[in-house]
Amino acid sequence: MDAVSFEQFLQERIKASGKAGNLTGDAVTMERSKSEITITSEVPFFKRPHLHPQA
């Protein structure tokens, strides 16, 4: 998988304000250089999706 395809995948999957693909504001930025993608978030960012609330 090349960096461009992976960047597109991340843009479609990352949630901001509860919506996937909602990276239009300054809350989450993504930068790509040759083989490195950097994601910066100004809001809390979880490494894994929270699928089920824990009791």
Nearest in space to 20 (alpha carbons), one of 36, 32, 8: 8
| Residue 12 included in any domain | yes
| Residue 25 included in any domain | yes
Q: What is the CATH number of the domain that holds 30?
A: 3.30.1360.210
Rounded CA-CA distance 22/38 in Å is 17
pTM to 2 decimals? 0.58
Per residue of the chain (55 residues), give pLDDT as tens.
Answer: 677 888 888 888 877 767 777 776 667 788 888 878 888 888 776 666 555 555 4
Q: Which pLDDT belongs to residue 53?
A: 53
| Residue 28 included in any domain | yes
The residue segments making up the domain with residue 7 are 3-41
Q: Which pLDDT belongs to residue 29?
A: 82
